C-alpha cells in the first residue's frame, strides 16, 4: 500500500500561521506523526509540500500507476484550482481531501472546493488527525477490495 500525502501553499508554515485556527504543531511534527502512523501500519508513504500550483500538479501526475491513494490538503488552491482538480481526475488514483480547519464554518469562499469533485471523501475540521483518518480510509478501502 503506497500513499502520497500532498500539502499545498502555506502548510509549511504550520505552527506559525494563525495558531488559533491551525494549532501550534509544525509541518515537521505533522510529517513525523504521519510517518510514525504509516510505519506502525506497514504503509509506504511519501510526503510532499509545495507553495506552487504547477509543482502540485506534477506531484499528483507522478502518482499515476505507482500509488494506491492520495491524501491532499491543497490549502488555498482548494478554492481556486481547476488544474489540481484535473490532475486528480487524470491519474484516477483514489483521493481524499483534507482540511485542518472546518472550512464550511469559515468565510463563504472557503466552502467552495474544486478538488472535491474528484475526491472520494472530504475530511475537514479534525485538525492533524484528519490526515491519519484519510490514510486509514484509503487503507481500509483497499483492504475491502482485496
Write out the catalytic residue numbers. Answer: 22, 99
Query: What is d(CA 86, CA 92) in angstroms, rounded to the nearest whole number?
Result: 10
Site string for ligand DQA, 65-84 (x = CB under 6 A): --------x-xx-x------
Question: Smallest Cα–Cα separation from 73: which of 88, 92, 90?
Answer: 88
CB of 1 to ligand DQA, least distance (A): 24
Q: Which of 23, 101, 127, 137 binds ligand DQA (CB under 6 A)?
A: 101
> Which C-beta is closer to ligand DQA: that of 22 or that of 68?
22
Can you say whether the dihedral through the CA atoms of 123, 126, 127, 129 is positive or negative?
negative
CB 81 within 8 A of CB 89: no
Closest CB to ligand DQA among residues 63, 73? 73
Nearest Cα residue to 101 out of 12, 18, 36: 18
Choosing from 100, 115, 132, 134, the residue that interacts with ligand DQA (CB under 6 A) is 100
| Cβ closest to ligand DQA, residue 44 vs residue 104 | 104
> At its nearest, how many Å lie between ligand DQA and the CB of residue 132?
14
Shortest spacing between CB 9 and ligand DQA, in angstroms: 6
| Residues in Cβ contact with 15 at an 8 Å cutoff, skipping those fewer than 6 apart | 22, 23, 24, 25, 26, 27, 29
Number of residues written out for the chain: 146
For ligand DQA, give the closer residue by CB, 103 or 119: 103
Residues 7-26 contacting ligand DQA, CB under 6 A: 10
Amino acid at each position: 500500500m503506497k500513499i502520497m500525502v500532498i500539502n499545498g501553499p502555506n502548510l509549511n508554515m504550520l505552527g506559525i500561521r494563525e495558531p488559533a485556527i491551525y494549532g501550534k504543531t509544525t509541518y515537521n511534527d505533522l510529517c513525523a506523526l504521519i510517518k510514525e502512523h504509516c510505519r506502525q501500519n506497514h504503509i509506504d508513504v511519501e510526503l510532499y509540500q509545495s507553495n506552487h500550483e504547477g509543482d502540485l500538479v506534477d506531484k499528483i501526475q507522478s502518482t499515476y500507476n505507482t500509488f494506491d491513494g492520495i491524501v491532499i490538503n491543497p490549502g488555498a488552491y482548494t478554492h481556486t484550482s481547476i488544474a489540481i482538480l484535473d490532475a486528480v481526475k487524470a491519474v484516477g488514483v483514489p483521493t481524499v481531501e483534507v482540511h485542518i480547519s472546518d472550512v464550511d464554518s469559515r468565510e463563504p469562499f472557503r466552502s467552495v472546493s474544486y478538488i472535491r469533485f474528484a475526491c472520494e471523501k472530504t475530511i475537514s475540521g479534525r485538525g492533524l488527525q484528519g490526515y491519519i483518518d484519510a490514510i486509514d480510509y484509503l487503507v481500509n478501502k483497499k483492504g475491502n477490495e482485496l
